[in-house]
Structure 1
Amino acid sequence: MKKVAFLVTGLNSGGLENYLLRFLTFYENKIDATVVCKGGYIGILKKDFENLGVNIIPIEIGYFNAAKFYELYQILKKGEFDSVCDFTGNFAAIPLYLAKLAGIKNRLAFHRGSNNRFKETPIKMVYNKAINKQLPIVATSVLANSKAAMNFFHNGIWKDDPKFEVIYNGINASRFLDSDENLRNELKIDKEAFVVGHVGRYNEAKNHRTIIEVAIALCKKHSNILFLLCGNGVDTELKAKVEAEGLEGQIKLLGYRKDVVKVLNTLDCFYFPSINEGQPNALIEAMVAGLPFLASDIDPIKETVPKELHHFLVSPLEIDLAVDRLLEIKEDKPNKLILADWAISHFSAKKWFDKFYLKL
């Protein structure tokens, strides 16, 4: 059994957190996992990880907190880990240096975004540039879940160096698609309604501002179109806007739910206009479920969907064009099974989880 320390910010529901949860579920009883939450908090997925026997350690690490870095060093030293994997991109540099000092021979950095996810100030950018240069030195492997991420963080060096590798997200389709249940009865949705949905926590990168404007435009013109938005914080952050428009009956805000497959089974189309992504788990899940989609034309998404479907990608801030394309999907009703078969094969958990597992 591999003894591995995984370093994350926290365990709230998001792309990385769900990826790690599914990965550890896939290799249950093969990995003795410790998750170190560097943000100092754990989050709503705490019980899900604990049910897998994962040891969770919250420790708040700042940019220059020597005492906390020493505490992390002690955790890594005493843990006697075979490997450590830090999912915080460039910010893995110092923890992986500490892991090296602690005698951990296998040290992985994993980029899960395709650009900087902090407010760029001159001081932060100097710091970021410095740790970016150190990352390939202290890491034995530098991974990313998209070529777009590699091009952004390590352009010019990653393609010719075997230390760098792109490992796409994997979905265990048989386990993910374990139910054909939907929420139409529960939410009192007419069987003839065309339901557009989005899954993702409320976050600037997920572009809920555009989603809600598109939803309002469509719902005001078409009484048989509904929007279903699911994700942590969505219900509280968007409630006032929906109520002000008088569209509570057509724009349903679910907040965080574990039964994502039921949400997807309720939809006729998936709308995903993210401003930036690493590689979008939510979009992959929608494709695995066979849903037609409209998504943003950013590089990580272009890399995620088949080239022949790139005409379903639009600028993330486009409202009028998004409205038109969603209406086209409503009328055309694309073949779900063809997309599902492609996605299940292309994002095979066995293929991509195995690549990551072998790195640990």
Structure 2
Amino acid sequence: MNNLKNVIFFVTSLQSGGIENYLLRFLEEKHQQFCQITVYCKGGLGGQLEQRYQSIPNVKIIKNKISFYNPLDYLELNKFFKENKFNAVCDFTGNFAGFILFVSKLAGIKKRIVFYRGSTDHFEATFVKKMYNNLARNFVLKYATDILSNSKAAFNFFYKNVWQNDKRFEVIYNGIDASKFNIGNENLRKEFQIPDHAFVVGHTGRFNSAKNHAAIIQVATELIKENKDFYFILCGNQVKNKLESVVKEKALSDRILLFENRSDIPRFLNTMDCYYFPSITEGQPNALIEAMLMGIPIVASDIEPIKETVPEKVYPFLINPMDVEGAKNKILEIYHSEIKHNLQEWTTKKYDSKKLFQQFYNHF
């Protein structure tokens, strides 16, 4: 396969999130196998990861908002495609890739890839939005040469009666470099002023409704009031900004510690005795995979993408994301019995980045 391809990837922004971190890791691993890489932020925004993207030698970043409805944007995009002579286009925005793929077909780009990173729709379903979404999905089905997802759950949602009989569809799980999480006993308890004997429950992930921080705060509040050993640590985009006033109101700022994005996630995870992940919807959560790599016992949602991500022996610790009492009981079970899930070996093998990034690269 010719490894000197000129490729363009479409994302919404370069804020820290699952899509953006996945693409960053892929390009850090595989950039030398492309002659030119363009990362097009079609929301018109950069973000926290922009500097890391810029540090990759052959990556060019474009920040230009593309409207869902303005045909002039797509005429300009067609001109841009033709001028740059791309060999391949890959759009990470699911159904909303449809019109990008149509324009890339018009421009003569032979390889047109869509990569679904969520397992459900993420918008309020008005009549107009549903019509647009269905039309865009039909364009994906017609104009994509490769349709990828990081979960079977996504394909079962978007293409239930289609995907298993169409060779363009492939599930490619997230790749994680396990060596970056091999840090021994390094943790942040001293820095955070958390006693050695404390039981620390944690979460990593940006603040939005799908991540269900409301349930985390409710569980934390009740467990801390019932037990002086409990501490909670949370980090991610907008987490401190959105939750600080809530935690202060409860007078729990010394027991529920909030942080924005951190660059020391392995040490942050190593500070925990339990990882709590009550997401309402997911694609395939890197954050949960990272926690399993660190050997932390987990309590998580019983939604299909998470059941697909973890081994069956963890299923007893998957609960309804809205079940606060159930989450408390599972966390207390881990606290009282010192349960160890010992998932490092299983996780390292299943989510080996070299194997899975090569699987994605093969589509170019």
TM range, smaller chain: over 0.9
- Please give the alpha-carbon distance, in whole angstroms, between the structure 2 residues aligned to 1:80 and 1:333: 58
Cross-structure match for 1:88: 93
Cross-structure match for 2:10: 7
- Please give the alpha-carbon distance, in whole angstroms, between the structure 2 residues aligned to 1:10 and 1:176: 26
Match among 254, 260, 264 for residue 255 of structure 1: 260
Confirm whether residue 104 of structure 1 aligns to residue 109 of structure 2: yes
- Please give the alpha-carbon distance, in whole angstroms, between the structure 1 residues aligned to 2:133 and 2:310: 31
Identical aligned residues as a percent: 47
1:235-250 aligned at under 5 Å gives the runs 235-250=240-255
Match among 283, 289, 295 for residue 284 of structure 1: 289
Q: Normalising by the residue count of structure 1, what TM-score does the alignment of the two structures yield? A: 0.97
Cross-structure match for 1:132: 137
State the SS of the aligned residue for 2:190.
coil
What do the CA deviations read for 1:7-65 (whole angstroms, capped 9, x no partner)? Answer: 00011001111111111111132233211001111111110100113211011112111
Return the offset for 1:134.
2.0
Match among 347, 357, 361 for residue 357 of structure 1: 361
| Aligned-partner residue type, residue 169 of structure 1 | N
State the SS of the aligned residue for 1:159.
helix
- Please give the alpha-carbon distance, in whole angstroms, between the structure 1 residues aligned to 2:251 and 2:335: 23
What do the CA deviations read for 1:140-194 (whole angstroms, capped 9, x no partner)? Answer: 0011110000011111010011111111111011134357532111111111111
Quickly say closer, same or farther: Cα 1:20–1:180, change in 2 above 3 A. Answer: farther
What do the CA deviations read for 1:263-291 (whole angstroms, capped 9, x no partner)? Answer: 11111111000000000110011111111
Runs (5+) with no aligned partner, structure 1: none
Cross-structure match for 1:348: 352
What do the CA deviations read for 1:61-98 (whole angstroms, capped 9, x no partner)? Answer: 12111222222222322222221100000111100111
Confirm whether residue 21 of structure 1 aligns to residue 3 of structure 2: no
Q: Normalising by the residue count of structure 2, what TM-score does the alignment of the two structures yield? A: 0.96
Return the offset for 1:308.
1.9
Cross-structure match for 1:155: 160
Question: Does the CA contact (< 8 Å) of 2:117 and 2:150 recur in 1?
Answer: yes
- Please give the alpha-carbon distance, in whole angstroms, between the structure 2 residues aligned to 1:180 and 1:95: 47
Question: Does the CA contact (< 8 Å) of 1:59 and 1:68 recur in 2?
Answer: no
Cross-structure match for 1:71: 76
State the SS of the aligned residue for 1:155.
coil
What do the CA deviations read for 1:180-216 (whole angstroms, capped 9, x no partner)? Answer: 5321111111111111000000011000011111111
Question: Does the CA contact (< 8 Å) of 1:179 and 1:262 recur in 2?
Answer: no
What do the CA deviations read for 1:100-133 (whole angstroms, capped 9, x no partner)? Answer: 1111111101111001011110111011112212
Cross-structure match for 2:300: 295
What do the CA deviations read for 1:312-340 (whole angstroms, capped 9, x no partner)? Answer: 1000011111111101011222235x311
- Please give the alpha-carbon distance, in whole angstroms, between the structure 1 residues aligned to 2:276 and 2:88: 38
Which is further off, 85-94 or 129-138? 129-138
Quickly say closer, same or farther: Cα 1:290–1:138, change in 2 above 3 A. Answer: same
* Structural RMSD (CA): 1.2
State the SS of the aligned residue for 2:191.
coil
Match among 335, 339, 345 for residue 340 of structure 2: 335
State the SS of the aligned residue for 1:303.
helix
Aligned residues between the structures: 359
| Aligned-partner residue type, residue 127 of structure 1 | Y
| Aligned-partner residue type, residue 28 of structure 1 | H
Match among 203, 228, 232 for residue 198 of structure 1: 203
| Aligned-partner residue type, residue 25 of structure 1 | E
Confirm whether residue 164 of structure 1 aligns to residue 190 of structure 2: no
Which is further off, 59-68 or 35-44? 59-68
- Please give the alpha-carbon distance, in whole angstroms, between the structure 1 residues aligned to 2:177 and 2:80: 32
State the SS of the aligned residue for 1:359.
coil
Question: Does the CA contact (< 8 Å) of 1:179 and 1:261 recur in 2?
Answer: no
Cross-structure match for 1:317: 322
